[in-house]
């Protein structure tokens, strides 16, 4: 399941999750973000409870976006042990994201 994360819930949902996480930084008006959304949902279904899959709306959550230096969207951050372990900017095939996620497990 993909969850929506906010400035207020990010730490509990991602940093303290105790398992790998991928976080999709996006915006409603962003065409490439909309292209990436189905891929993120597929990863969520594929990996189930093994990972946290989350989305952050950059327009509604400027603090967390600023904290991680998000300047381009879509940007996906990969977290392991609560720390950023990898990053992907732009739309890429599902296999690229899956490989990066597998490396964290």
Each residue's pLDDT tens digit, 29-68? 999 999 999 999 999 999 988 999 999 999 999 999 999 9
At which residue do the structure tokens 């790998």 appear? 20
- The tokens for 105 are 């497990």
DSSP 6: -
User: What are the CA-CA distances from residue 67 to residues 63, 70, 84 (Å)?
Assistant: 6, 8, 12
pLDDT band at 1 (very low <50, low <70, confident <90, very high): confident
Average pLDDT of the residues in 2-20: 93
Q: What is the DSSP string of 45-76?
A: HHHGGGSEEEEEETTT-HHHHHHTT--SSSEE
Q: Which is catalytic among the residues 5, 14, 33, 54?
A: 33
33 among known catalytic residues:
yes
Cα separation, 55 vs 30, whole angstroms? 14
Q: Are 44 and 5 in contact (CB under 8 A)?
A: no
What pTM was computed for the model?
Answer: 0.94
Q: Which is catalytic among the residues 3, 17, 30, 104?
A: 30
Q: What is the mean pLDDT of the chain?
A: 95
């Amino acid at each position: 399941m993909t969850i929506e994360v906010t400035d207020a819930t990010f730490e509990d949902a991602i940093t303290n999750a105790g398992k790998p996480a991928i976080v999709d930084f996006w915006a409603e008006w962003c065409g490439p973000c909309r292209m990436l959304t189905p891929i993120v949902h597929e990863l969520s279904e594929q990996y189930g409870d093994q990972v946290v899959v989350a989305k952050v709306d950059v327009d509604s959550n400027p603090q967390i976006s600023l904290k991680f230096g998000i300047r381009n969207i879509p940007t996906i951050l990969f977290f392991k042990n609560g720390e950023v372990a990898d990053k992907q900017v732009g739309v890429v095939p599902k296999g690229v994201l899956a490989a990066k996620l597998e490396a964290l497990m």
